[in-house]
Amino acid sequence: MKLKLPSIPLYMIAALLFGLKTYIVYRFMFNIELENPMQEFILLVNPFVSAFLIFAISVWFNKTSRQMKFIRYVTLFLTLIVFANLVFYRQFTDFITIPQLFMGSNMSDLGSSILTLIKPYDILLFIDAAIIWYLSKKQESMLAVDYPKSGKVFALAMSLVLLSGNFFLAEMERPQLFTRAFDREYLVKNIGLFNYHVYDLVVHSKTESQRVFADGNELPEIQEFVDENVRVDEHSNMFGAAEGKNVIFINAESLQQFVINNQVNGEEVTPFLNRLIDNEDTYYFDNFYEQTGQGNTSDSEFLVENSLYPLSRGAVFFTHGSNEYNGLPEILNEEGYTSAVLHSNNKSFWNRDGMYESLGIDQFYGEESYELTEENTIGWGLKDKPFFEQSIKYLRSMEQPFYSKFITLTNHFPFEMSEEDTSIDAYDSNSATLNNYFPAVRYMDEAIEEFFTQLKESGLYEDSIIVIMGDHIGISANHNKAMSMYLDKDQITPYDQVQLQRVPLFIHIPGNGNGEVISEVTGQIDMKPTLLSLLGIEVENDIYFGNDVFSKDRKGYIALRNGDFVSDEYISTVGICYDRQTGEPVQSKIESEEENQKKTKVANACLPIQEKVEAELAYSDNLIYGDLFRFVDVGAEDEELFEND
């Protein structure tokens, strides 16, 4: 006796199975914050709405074989999209964008990093695809449909009605969702992964056309905003404190602030950096935030060199590496400085060779400039200790004064370490990533200490300022359970997650003698104006969004790339306004005239800053997408500020 299946069309079975699978991934594999029952409901329905819309297209195929083929191949294709996003999310707590698909040249260098993100149970994601494949082959006559034209139109109309309902609920829950879409998690949470990808494609097409139609008329509005909200007329008391000195900038890979002055297994994680904080020549900033997007290290470089925000989608080094900029190296070149980047990696990674030319960097010492052996390499390339040791000869050969940037590699995910380079034991938690992070950080700390010794022996130390900056976080939100264990917290809240975006900033000026710990809110966007101020360099008509970190007259907030912000008083994230000092949501008692009683509501204290943050991010994006610096004559008189090519 043959098993008789219920007469449910295959496209409906596929939509139900795929919707259920996608919801399970949303709920239990992505770390999506849900704040209320409505968000839970929207998250539940949106994968089924998307799946029904996509699979209902199959009813328009008249031939059964074509209908079945469409359903099975679409199921497999969509599953691969879910899988790719899941692997990406495990590392970056983010979703793939169209620009990142053009960054495939980086994939060959990721190697074991990607393999560590793939789990054996990921094969379960393909179970529904296997079921659909089997049914489409063995039961096609029973599960195919042959609707009349009215039935096909009805299926399409029903799909669009469900989609409209989803969008209506999303707009109710998150007003202006599409016009204020800085945070991809909000989009996925409200409209679903696949509608997000369609939205991303539309945005990508729109932004690609911006440069074509840009004519420079956008600049006066941007300049007015910068002059009113960002620019500071008075110099800080550190203006010219390092005039004429070399600048040695260390981009410390994945170094986060939580390890500074902290221990693991009773051992200091960063003993040298801890001592450096107490050095009389060091200024240490303990509320300094990374502001990168999907470009990670390349985004931190972009922030430092331009005091512009990276893009919310992809890496600006890739997508707009041929733009014109008024980068820090170019400005310093005009003041007699030579510039170089030292990084033991290939020049095509992050499109550095193209971007460095646009920024005005004179020399890039890449992997071909170093002697790499099996003993002195691990993970992503040359270990930090031999990297610094082999780099000294290049510093000595540079014409002074110079601006040099070192980009370290060893403290990089997945934080591999050889036994002979390990000075402290790994942490013990459920996260191998966090466990291995501490020995890797210690190794980098030791490498930087040796580099200081080498600088002194080379005679360069006294004539240089040394800046050490964490480039981006190393431990993503996917490891929050282990992180809460290490930090002795019940859980990592959204407030804590923002605080974990603090990275160390050391500005060491030999002979200064007035070093201190500075706790004002600062960020990577501030590095360009800070370095120019320290070197005593003024630039007319430049457009940037940071402040000198030593200035007392600052804008008072730091914008994060996803639209969150940190101000002197508040932290705004996931739609909640927190008190920065206490970590508690800001609440106030408000008298209700209609009900004549007091109600507790979340105060709108964050709203004025939020509006500035959104404007600032949008203006920065416009400068990049429109390639607007080609219309700016930096350093000219005001009436010559805006010139067409």
pLDDT digits (tens, 9 = 90+) for 137-170: 887 777 778 888 888 888 889 888 988 888 888 8
What's the chain's average pLDDT? 88
Q: Region 600-609: what's the mean pLDDT?
A: 69
Per-residue pLDDT tens digits for 158-202: 888 988 888 888 888 777 676 655 567 878 888 888 888 888 888
Nearest Cα residue to 32 out of 564, 576, 494: 494
State how far the alpha carbon of 74 is from the alpha carbons of 81, 195, 550, 595, in Å. 11, 15, 56, 54
Residue 376 near residue 386 (C-beta atoms within 8 A): yes
State what percent of residues in the chain have pLDDT above 70.
91
Question: Is there a single domain that holds both residue 416 and residue 300?
Answer: yes
Q: What is the pLDDT of residue 105?
A: 52
Residues contacting residue 163 through CB under 8 Å, at least 6 positions apart: 49, 50, 53, 195
Q: What is the pLDDT of residue 100?
A: 64
Nearest Cα residue to 572 out of 602, 535, 543, 542: 602
Give the span between the Cα atoms of 13 and 128, in whole angstroms.
10
Give the span between the Cα atoms of 298 and 109, in whole angstroms.
15
Assess whether pLDDT exceeds 90 at residue 348: no
Give the span between the Cα atoms of 205 and 208, in whole angstroms.
5
Question: Is there a single domain that holds both residue 390 and residue 479?
Answer: yes
Give the span between the Cα atoms of 545 and 526, in whole angstroms.
8
Per-residue pLDDT tens digits for 440-498: 999 999 999 999 999 999 999 999 999 999 999 999 998 999 999 999 999 999 999 99
Q: Is 240 left (phi over 0), alpha (psi -120 to 50) or beta?
A: left
Q: What is the largest CA-CA distance in the chain?
A: 92
Residues contacting residue 102 through CB under 8 Å, at least 6 positions apart: 314, 318, 319
Instruction: Determine, yes or no, domain membership for 601.
Output: no
Give the span between the Cα atoms of 347 and 353, in whole angstroms.
5
Question: Is there a single domain that holds both residue 301 and residue 402?
Answer: yes
The last residue of one of the domains, among 554, 584, 616, is: 554
Residue 74 near residue 345 (C-beta atoms within 8 A): no
Active site residue 297: yes
Exposed, middle or buried by CB within 10 Å (0-12, 13-18, 19+), for 516? exposed
Task: Check residues 600 and 631 and name the one with the higher pLDDT.
Answer: 631
State how far the alpha carbon of 162 is from the alpha carbons of 140, 392, 429, 513, in Å. 27, 64, 44, 67
Candidate list 75, 79, 97, 297, residue with the active-site label: 297
Distance of CA 637 to the CA centre of its chain: 36
Per-residue pLDDT tens digits for 480-493: 999 999 999 999 99
Per-residue pLDDT tens digits for 216-258: 899 999 999 999 999 887 899 999 999 999 999 999 999 999 9
The last residue of one of the domains, among 554, 580, 603, is: 554
Instruction: Determine, yes or no, domain membership for 418.
Output: yes
Instruction: Determine, yes or no, domain membership for 582.
Output: no
State how far the alpha carbon of 340 is from the alpha carbons of 243, 356, 360, 405, in Å. 19, 9, 10, 6
> Mapping DSSP to helix (H, G, I), strand (E, B) and coil, where does residue 41 land?
helix
Domain count, the chain: 2
Instruction: Determine, yes or no, domain membership for 182.
Output: yes
Task: Check residues 95 and 339 and name the one with the higher pLDDT.
Answer: 339
- Is the omega angle on the peptide bond into residue 6 within 30 degrees of 0, that is, cis? no
Question: Is there a single domain that holds both residue 203 and residue 248?
Answer: no
Q: What is the pLDDT of residue 156?
A: 86
Assess whether pLDDT exceeds 50 at residue 616: yes
Instruction: Determine, yes or no, domain membership for 584.
Output: no
Write the CATH number for 379.
3.40.720.10
Q: What is the pLDDT of residue 215?
A: 87
Instruction: Determine, yes or no, domain membership for 616.
Output: no
Task: Check residues 36 and 625 and name the one with the higher pLDDT.
Answer: 625
Give the span between the Cα atoms of 328 and 306, in whole angstroms.
6
Residue range of the domain that includes 489: 240-554
Question: Is there a single domain that holds both residue 353 and residue 405?
Answer: yes
Instruction: Determine, yes or no, domain membership for 563.
Output: no
Question: Is there a single domain that holds both residue 206 and residue 256?
Answer: no
Buried b / exposed e along 557-582 (16+ C-beta atoms within 10 A): bbbbbbbbbbbebbbbbbbbbbebee
Per-residue pLDDT tens digits for 518-573: 999 999 999 999 999 999 999 888 999 999 999 998 999 999 999 999 999 999 99
Q: Region 35-44: what's the mean pLDDT?
A: 86
Question: Is there a single domain that holds both residue 305 and residue 439?
Answer: yes
Phi/psi of residue 332, nearest 5 degrees? -65, -35
Question: Is there a single domain that holds both residue 255 and residue 187?
Answer: no
Question: Is there a single domain that holds both residue 361 and residue 498?
Answer: yes
Q: What is the pLDDT of residue 597?
A: 38
pTM: 0.78
Give the span between the Cα atoms of 196 and 27, in whole angstroms.
17
Question: Is there a single domain that holds both residue 361 and residue 460?
Answer: yes
Per-residue pLDDT band at 2 (split at 50, 70, 90):
very low
The last residue of one of the domains, among 529, 554, 579, is: 554
Question: Is there a single domain that holds both residue 259 and residue 188?
Answer: no
Question: Is there a single domain that holds both residue 90 and residue 164?
Answer: yes
Instruction: Determine, yes or no, domain membership for 589.
Output: no
